[in-house]
Amino acid sequence: MDDTHFDLVVIGFGRGGKTLAAAMGRRGKRVAVIERSAQMYGGTCPNVGCVPTKSLIHHAETGAGHGEAVEKTRNLTTRLRGINFFILDTMDSVTVLTGRAAFVDPKTVEVSAGCDSMTVTGDTIIIDTGAEPVLPAIPGLAASTRVHTSTDLIGRDNLPRRLAVLGGGHVGIEFASMFAQFGSEVTVLDQAPRILGHEDDDVAAAAEQVLADTGVRFVLGAQVIGLSETAEGAELDYRQGDAGGTVVVDAVLVAAGRKPATEGLRLDLAGVATTPGGAVEVDDQLRTSQPHIFAVGDVKGGPQFTYVSLDDSRIVADQLTGLGTRSTADRVHIPYALFLTPPLARVGLTERDAREQGYAVKVAEKAVADVVAMPKAKILGETRGLMKFVIDAKTDLILGAALLSVDAQELINLVTLAMRHGVTAGDLRDGIYTHPSSTEAFNEVLAATRS
């Protein structure tokens, strides 16, 4: 038996790739998992993404100091990294290789670590290298030691007294909320006229107010034109309409989006096509331009969520061991949550989108502070936010929902399930829910509709 030939080669240790590796390993298939760094076993989520950021947010919300929060979070991610490695490394048929992967040809991958290298071949290859932060071409940004990506900032031991966040999207808003609660003076700069441009105006305004209450300052409609180092810190110059301004801070978080991590993979040698945006191009069953090579997770573009990567693994597993009928077309109503305090979760259409698509719409909306049937929020002392449902007036089916409230990240899953299975707004309104809970707010909110 050739020790360098495998039934399955997985490039990257993300959620989709590691799930496939474990599933195929349990079937006795020979699997190689290639991860470029021992600090990334398990992928982005447990190491530099969802888990550490949400851990830090939790500690910020509960009043822990920044240093304590960083230490506890570091211990947590170390433990999870070890568990992820142990699960695969202890399987007899799975081999974990630590090094950088690059294609030699469509079935051969070179793995290099320092001066050492080896090649492996695979009948099936999975690309699961994720995405990485984008650094805008702003003069002075790349050379500054005060500039951080989200990956850098979560591991920083010292709390910046003044923090600038470049970007009003999900990553920027989460970090702004978190660091403001730790005690930093936070300024968010964004080119857009308001934050969270994909949300309805009222939802975005409510989220902005929550952040402002926490002490976050906003400079919107502003284009950052340069960064210079001074004795006072990093000096960010920006243009805002016809006027200009300057923000001086101790640290800068660049939250200007993420791009698929394909650099160095030599996809051209494998004959793997990419999209104009640099993502690995796939069909509905996640096959690339090479039928034996699949791409899962953020590297293929689309929604960058670990739970989407998990569903990617189900689609590919069905191609490898099942009936081969599952595809991305099966997916409907993918929810997401933004972890400011309280969290904002959304699924489906906004009111704006529903009306533009020609639906006859009715809207059920209420401020959390006005919802009598939600004592959970009052018990926890967090009554900020709102709940909003967009409903098809003809069928009473839920078209979308935005929940800015305590437990929103959990509540949205129930709403999503209702939407997927045709449960009407009336059914959800008349449900019998435990008390005191956040879910019972639906009894009241869904009874208050407008056209």
Alpha helices, H only, 197-289 = 201-214, 267-270
Q: Which helix (H) or strand (E) element contains residue 230?
A: strand 222-230
Contact 404, 211 (CB under 8 A): no
Determine which one of 58, 59, 292, 435 is catalytic.
Answer: 435
Distance separating alpha carbons of residues 341 and 249, to the nearest angstrom: 23
Q: In sequence order, what DSSP letters do the residues of 34-93 get, joined into one string? A: EES-GGGTT-HHHHHSHHHHHHHHHHHHTT--HHHHHHHHHHHHHHHHHHHHHHHHTSTT
Any bridge partners for residue 213, and if so which? none
Any bridge partners for residue 403, and if so which? 345, 387
Structure-token pair, residue 256:
């200007």
Any bridge partners for residue 387, and if so which? 366, 403
Examine the residue annotation and report whether 5 is marked as an active-site residue of this protein. Answer: no
Structure-token pair, residue 50:
């969802």
Distance separating alpha carbons of residues 343 and 331, to the nearest angstrom: 24
Distance separating alpha carbons of residues 146 and 233, to the nearest angstrom: 8
Phi, psi angles (nearest 5°) of residue 412 = -65, -25
**Residues labelled as active-site residues:** 435
